[in-house]
Amino acid sequence: MSISPATSRRSFCGGRRGCRRECQTGSASAFSESIILMNDGILGRVEQSLADFRPKTQREFVALQIARRFGDVNRLARYLLVAQSHGKKVMLEAARLAMLQHELNRTSTSDLYFEVIERFDAEGRT
């Protein structure tokens, strides 16, 4: 049985309402591969754009230094988002607390940093 390309198209979601993307093959593995390739392209471009990052403000500089200190430059964009809404003192205090907590429980320092930032946000500290 031969199926024409027009009739072999299926949506990624299996035909659920609201899906706007379509897959030629309709297979789950093809969908997964297309998502991986799409993410590699997007993430690769973001990573490349941040590779040559030059801080323009003191806050951006602090964010870059914290990311480097934690060995977490691959998530620099997240640190820069924190820098947009938090002062240098808050960022440095969060980094200090994250390093102290790391000594106590060996959780990733960078993850602890973002937990401290969330706690500061809940307390209204910016």
Domain ranges of the chain: 5-46, 54-123
Q: Which residue has the tokens 């390739």?
A: 37
Of 108, 90, 85, 87, nearest in space to 98 by CA: 108
Q: What's the Cα-to-Cα distance from 121 to each of 85, 90, 99, 126, rounded to whole Å? A: 10, 10, 19, 7
Q: What's the Cα-to-Cα distance from 43 to each of 48, 67, 77, 78, 102, rounded to whole Å? A: 8, 18, 11, 13, 28
- pLDDT tens digits for 49-108? 667 789 999 999 999 999 999 999 889 999 999 999 999 999 999 999 999 999 888 889
State whether residue 106 is helix, strand or coil: coil
- pLDDT tens digits for 95-122? 999 999 998 888 899 999 999 999 999 9
Q: Give the global pTM.
A: 0.59
Is a pLDDT exceeding 70 seen at residue 33?
no
